[in-house]
Structure 1
Amino acid sequence: MAGSPLKRRTFVLLGAAVAAAAGARTSVAAAASSAPAGTPMPVRIVDDRATPATRALFAYLKRQQGKGILFGHQHDLTYGFTFTTPDGKASDTRAAVGDYPAVFGWDTLILDGDERPGTEDGTEAENIAALSRCIRQGDARGGINTLSAHMPNFVTGKDFYDTTGRVVSQILPGGAKHSYFNAFLDRVAKAVKGARRPDGTAIPVIFRPFHENNGGWFWWGAGHTTSGEFIELFRYTVEYLRDTRGVHNLLYAYSPNSSLGGDPTGYLKTYPGDRFVDILGYDSYDEAAGPTPWLDGLVRDLAMVVRLANERGKVPAFTEFGESGTEVRDPQWFTRLLQAVKADPLARQVAYMPTWANFGGTKRAYVPYPGHVLLPDFVRFHQDPYTLFAADLRGVFAARTTAVRNGPSMHLVTPTDRQRVTAAKSTVRVRVTPAGASRVTYSVNGGRARPLRLGADGYYSGAWSIDTALRKKGSATLTVRARVDGKTLTDSAVVLLGEVAPLPAGWVDDFERYAGDDVAVSEAYTHLNTHTLTLSPDHKSSGSYGLAYAYDFTAAEFTGIGKSVLADWSAFTSLALWLRGDGSENGGALEIVADGVQFQYRFALADTSGQEIRAPFSEFQPAPWDTTHATAVLDTARLAKVTAFNLYLGRGSGAVTKGIVYVDDIRAE
């Protein structure tokens, strides 16, 4: 979601199967380019039973690459500064430039009555019908529909910003809240299937669940779930909607948040796989002090996304963007953005770029309205031949296509990679689609293969008994294999075993609990902007490991990591940690989130000897951007309500943009 307070305020198949999939993509592209005129175009998408219009939409977006970028707007017909009562025709975009956006964005919050035209007192059926109606109205205005999903916390019942409860692990198969998640997806399925044209055909929708997951502001984000859990949640969502609920008018989009420094490793860390994604998206809002750093990083990341999409036969998209400052800082913001994207031969190939909703009140006007300082520039943005609005679209759903059938695939559903299993037994679940398997097995650490049986729930499953000796080792590699059509499909996961002793009161981390696993320590933290976390056996205060925090300011002025705390620190007087700086002029900030306020203590990175830092709570100040709490004090009342610890590194006046800082033993004392 654009402009969220947290975002503004805080800094497979293996082996031969992979090669076969790559070859299939190449052959599909070759067939499409060499097919005789009038021959249906072959398309490979997640749902090989998708409706003709859905296949045609995918083909159109691929065909459009490099010819122009479709402009989009969230809630264009339901929220605005130029109208109060939605009628399906009034639009801030239309008021600004005389045309509708090419892409209309909606959200599943309509289903809960939290965004209109859904209503809090509406029945389930009424709010489902409201979302279906939005999709029909966007289609009637000549646009393409997308659907994002700000899902409630299924554990606590609160909203998507409530990151407590390890929600993802609870809603995956076998989890205590799995049925709650299914019920939510049932409503999505009804709304999407109910969005039909007058002739009865289903309207295609681009579904974008679990967006910006590399940030920590949503319960499905970094630090609140593991990459393995996220991947399986995305896969489960696709398979449930497509295979269980029979929804065949969806394309599926994956969209991490900026900044990634152009590094595909970070982007692909939670990638569900080519079998589950049609559109490679990317979200980014301009929150920089000036346009150049943001634009440079944006173009670098978009080029990376386009490169990955082209390699995989996917559609690249700039799935959310906007100017998120508290005031307009650049009256040519839209055209500067467009020119920067157009100037890069790869970045210019993104298919569409939607901005966020004009919710009104004190929130940003992402689409300028008459009288707004950015309106003249937005008009020029609209007039540029490279931007496409609704009136510019031709033949979006007209292409004659044929679906390339997806071959069999298999993935390990539970336990997920780096999941901690504390019990003596765990259920191994494997999904094989679309074909059945003659034999499915699991093995532990390369040992004897044990059979898994197909159940009524559609999973091959079996009980894994974990003996005491294995649990004492702390981890095991679980490998599953399926024999399908004469081929063996394989997947595996590293499973963490046994209980971890709780840290003493006041402690954030001692970096000993990860058994030397760099992936595990990275999964435990939220991440903002470009950096790498690894365990360091050489630079530490005590024990076997410290943390090596390698930062990169190439694409951003700062970077940050964070950890949920949820503790009462009222008995303590200071925050302490061991720190070894890198000798640069860059700096850092310790941040304590207490009673909803972010308090910071700044420090230098000049010392390279390694030393204890003790920051008295009395010296913490509210974050400088938080004018609402400018006079707040980190007193005992607030320290009783600590929810998170964050560590930020920021660029100083020197030339150093990359370095490594070592930390250890972070605790209140």
Structure 2
Amino acid sequence: GDGKDGLGMFNVIPCNPNATEEVKALLNYFNELSGNGIITGQHTQTTKQEELKYIQEATGKLPALCGFELLSYSPNINRLQSSEECLLEVKENENTLDNAWEWVTRQKGLITFTWHWFSPMGGKDKSFYTEHTDFDASRAIVEGTAEHKALLSDMDYMADLLKPFCDKRVPILWRPFHEAEGEWFWWGSQGPEVAKQLYLIMFDRYTRVHQLNNLIWVWNSPLPQGYVGDDKVDIISRDLYPPAHQHTDLRQEYEELIQITPTEKLAALGEIGSIPSIPALAETRVPWLWFMTWSNDYGKSELFTTKEELRRAYHHDYAITLDRLPRLY
């Protein structure tokens, strides 16, 4: 498509030609919402989901979008060479998929998944970090290597966990290989071109082999280098951590992000520390589709966003909270 049509909207044909009707309905809703409202989101790192309790106590509301962490489902966690901190993080994160089911079925909210993927081979401790693994992502994209086989094995394992959501036709905002612009995670450690190839391998495998037609593909890097192409992405996003208590419309960051695509794409704040200013966004209409506040201190304390600012955001007409989310499927 050629970006916006006569109605001033984006073309939102799913990048997966076999996408479910529910995916299409959600993308159409996003299309209408973009520039007219923003979806409130919160990442939850543990099964206790203390961030949600905090928001509910502070605002009387819940976010429309909940983020879930998949790190504990990584098949290659080296428990023998892991710190207490790592083991605790894994333990507290176990069974987050049960929480996701509950969120979808009981609350009727939207879901997005983040996978801090412990490296498929080698590695110790929190091996999603480059510094804790010798796993070579540049070898993982080469067919026939041990690294490639390990990569596909982990991908297939995760696909099986995602399949029940597909069977029940639940759309997932799927944000794989997040922060691919950086070298801090193994998938970005060999540069953006390698990260791009990893994403394309997953895209092909998940759409063609596993037929996970419920995934909405979210690319998460502001770099033009390594962009995977408009035909493999539904929504572009970036992660931002502004200074504590700095709340703006993030216009400049939006303008930078949309430079990576030849055609206009829906754009989101995949992760954020201090929340954006909802009153400012209502004025300027910078079309961020959602923001997802990160977990722990970002989402359950006043260190980055005061309760007053949170209330102002969640009670603003421009904010889509859980109670304002239409039933789309």
User: Quick check: TM above 0.5?
Assistant: yes
Aligned to 1:146: 112
CA contact (8 A) 1:274 1:312 kept: yes
Aligned to 1:480: none
* Code of the aligned partner of 2:116: H
Q: 1:59–1:115: structure 2 CA closer, same or farther, 3 Å change rule? A: farther
Distance in 1 between residues matched to 2:122 and 2:224, nearest whole Å: 30
Distance in 1 between residues matched to 2:19 and 2:175, nearest whole Å: 17
Shift of 1:382: 1.1
Shift of 1:281: 0.1
Q: Which runs of 4+ in 1 moved over 6 A?
A: 113-118
Is 1:226 the counterpart of 2:191? The answer is yes
Aligned to 1:303: 255
Shift of 1:208: 0.6
CA contact (8 A) 2:219 2:237 kept: yes
| 1:110 match: secondary structure | helix
Distance in 1 between residues matched to 2:326 and 2:16, nearest whole Å: 24
CA contact (8 A) 1:73 1:104 kept: yes
Distance in 2 between residues matched to 1:208 and 1:48, nearest whole Å: 18
Distance in 2 between residues matched to 1:242 and 1:43, nearest whole Å: 18
Distance in 2 between residues matched to 1:62 and 1:353, nearest whole Å: 16
Shift of 1:170: 2.6
* Code of the aligned partner of 1:106: F
Unaligned runs of 5+ in 1: 1-24, 35-41, 83-89, 258-266, 324-333, 359-363, 398-669
Aligned to 1:162: 130
CA contact (8 A) 1:135 1:203 kept: no
Deviations 1:177-223 (A, max 9, x none): 11221121122212221126xxx6321101111111222221222xx
Distance in 1 between residues matched to 2:120 and 2:162, nearest whole Å: 21
Aligned to 2:58: 96
Identity %: 22
CA contact (8 A) 1:110 1:116 kept: no
Mapping of residues 8-407 of structure 1, within 5 Å? 25-26=1-2, 30=5, 43-75=12-44, 78-81=47-50, 91-112=53-74, 119=91, 130-140=95-105, 141-158=107-124, 159-163=127-131, 164-165=133-134, 167-172=136-141, 173-195=143-165, 201-221=168-188, 224-256=189-221, 267-287=223-243, 291=246, 295=248, 298-306=250-258, 312-323=263-274, 334=275, 337-345=277-285, 348-358=286-296, 364-368=297-301, 374-397=306-329
Distance in 2 between residues matched to 1:281 and 1:305, nearest whole Å: 7
Q: Alpha carbon RMSD of aligned pairs, Å?
A: 3.4
Bigger-Rg structure (1/2): 1
| 1:248 match: secondary structure | coil
Equivalent pairs counted in the alignment come to 313
Distance in 2 between residues matched to 1:95 and 1:77, nearest whole Å: 18
Deviations 1:516-552 (A, max 9, x none): xxxxxxxxxxxxxxxxxxxxxxxxxxxxxxxxxxxxx
Mapping of residues 426-465 of structure 1, within 5 Å? none
Deviations 1:604-629 (A, max 9, x none): xxxxxxxxxxxxxxxxxxxxxxxxxx
Shift of 1:58: 1.5
CA contact (8 A) 1:70 1:388 kept: yes
CA contact (8 A) 1:118 1:131 kept: no
Aligned to 2:81: none
CA contact (8 A) 2:40 2:319 kept: yes
CA contact (8 A) 2:239 2:270 kept: yes
Distance in 2 between residues matched to 1:269 and 1:393, nearest whole Å: 35
Distance in 2 between residues matched to 1:167 and 1:138, nearest whole Å: 36
Deviations 1:9-53 (A, max 9, x none): xxxxxxxxxxxxxxxx03x965x969xxxxxxx842221111111
CA contact (8 A) 1:169 1:175 kept: no
* Code of the aligned partner of 1:273: G
Shift of 1:287: 3.7
Q: 1:107–1:356: structure 2 CA closer, same or farther, 3 Å change rule? A: same
Distance in 1 between residues matched to 2:179 and 2:36, nearest whole Å: 27
Distance in 2 between residues matched to 1:165 and 1:213, nearest whole Å: 18
| 1:73 match: secondary structure | strand
Distance in 1 between residues matched to 2:287 and 2:134, nearest whole Å: 40
Q: 1:157–1:142: structure 2 CA closer, same or farther, 3 Å change rule? A: same
* Code of the aligned partner of 1:376: E
Unaligned runs of 5+ in 2: 78-85
| 1:62 match: secondary structure | helix
Q: 1:387–1:305: structure 2 CA closer, same or farther, 3 Å change rule? A: same
Distance in 2 between residues matched to 1:188 and 1:45, nearest whole Å: 22
Shift of 1:357: 1.5
Distance in 2 between residues matched to 1:191 and 1:115, nearest whole Å: 21
CA contact (8 A) 1:78 1:116 kept: no
Deviations 1:326-382 (A, max 9, x none): xxxxxxxx5x7334444444xx21110001112xxxxx142448x998112211111
| 2:154 match: secondary structure | helix
Distance in 2 between residues matched to 1:250 and 1:116, nearest whole Å: 30
Aligned to 2:80: none
Deviations 1:124-163 (A, max 9, x none): xxx6xx3542322221312111111211123423311134
Shift of 1:116: 9.6
Deviations 1:226-252 (A, max 9, x none): 332221111011111111122111011
| 1:353 match: secondary structure | strand
Distance in 2 between residues matched to 1:106 and 1:55, nearest whole Å: 22
Shift of 1:303: 2.8
Distance in 1 between residues matched to 2:193 and 2:46, nearest whole Å: 37
Q: 1:374–1:91: structure 2 CA closer, same or farther, 3 Å change rule? A: same
| 2:273 match: secondary structure | strand
Q: 1:116–1:192: structure 2 CA closer, same or farther, 3 Å change rule? A: farther
Deviations 1:401-445 (A, max 9, x none): xxxxxxxxxxxxxxxxxxxxxxxxxxxxxxxxxxxxxxxxxxxxx
Q: 1:168–1:281: structure 2 CA closer, same or farther, 3 Å change rule? A: same
Distance in 2 between residues matched to 1:70 and 1:380, nearest whole Å: 14
